[in-house]
Amino acid sequence: MQEVYIKPYKSNKMEGKKQILIKDIARISAPKNLQNGIENICLIKPQVTKVTHFAVSALKIIEAIQKEYPDVSIQNVGEIDCMIEFNPVKAEPHPVWEWVKLAGICVIVFAGATVAIMAYNTDVSMAKTFTTLYKVLTGEVNESPAWITIPYAIGMPIGVIGFYNHFGTKKITEDPTPIQVEINAYEKEVEDTIIDTLTAEKRGQYEE
């Protein structure tokens, strides 16, 4: 009996296709005489007109393979459930609109960061802290000690750059940035929620 190994991917995005094949959502390792045939087995023929999510279990992939090749032994070494985000029309982003969105995001982020920094400085009374620190170090009172506030203003962006591990489009180190970690965690939660919701809907259909 010939061995076939499948490695389904948890998250998949597809655009402008008439059908979803096994090779679109999983990697296949099989003898050469089976490889191409298995990869091109159709799993779904979407009949939708808008962006739609599909959940495909490893069992469905195994059943589809066994239907075409009943004499093979199949081992799953990947995900149990796959999430597919399917767009019936291939999106072609307009460069002008992309720049407009980028500019809008930059304005929002800049404004939000400015308010957050000012709110933080006010909340912890940084002005009073600088004045007190100046008095401790010099014995004099100065409401605006520039030689303390200027290094603080310079050190803050340096600290932000170091924390987020980015300067412009360049990464300082190869470690993932905090934002990448948070986005990855968020995307996993979204994928799990979509898969759970679609699976629950399927179970309801089966129970009916």
The per-residue DSSP string of 51-120 comes to: -EEEEEEHHHHHHHHHHH-TTEEEEE-S-SEEEEEEESS-----HHHHHHHHHHHHHHHHHHHHHHHHHH
Q: Give the distance, in angstroms, between the CA of residue 108 and the centroid of all CA atoms in the same chain.
A: 21
Reference 59, options 82, 38, 34, 35; nearest CA is 82
pLDDT of residue 205: 57
Alpha-carbon distance of 39 to 16, in angstroms, equals 19
Inter-residue contact 22 to 61 (CB < 8 Å): yes
Element (H, E) at 12: strand 11-15
pLDDT 10s per residue in the chain (208 long)? 789 999 999 989 998 888 999 999 999 999 988 999 999 999 999 988 888 999 899 999 999 999 999 989 999 998 999 999 999 888 777 888 889 998 999 899 889 888 988 888 888 788 888 888 888 888 888 877 888 888 888 888 888 888 777 776 777 788 888 888 888 899 889 888 988 888 887 776 545 4
Q: State how beta strands 2-8 and 26-29 pair.
A: antiparallel
Q: List Cβ neighbours of 179 (8 Å cut-off, separation of 6 or more).
A: 164
Long-range residue pairs from 147-156, CB within 8 A, at least 24 positions apart, any chain: 152/126, 156/117
pLDDT of residue 157: 83
pLDDT of residue 152: 84
pLDDT of residue 146: 80
Q: Supply the pTM of this predicted model.
A: 0.67
pLDDT of residue 22: 93
Give the residue carrying structure tokens 């991917």. Answer: 9
Cα-only R_g, the chain: 27
User: Cα angle at 68 between 7 and 44, to 5 degrees?
Assistant: 65
pLDDT of residue 9: 92
Inter-residue contact 189 to 10 (CB < 8 Å): no
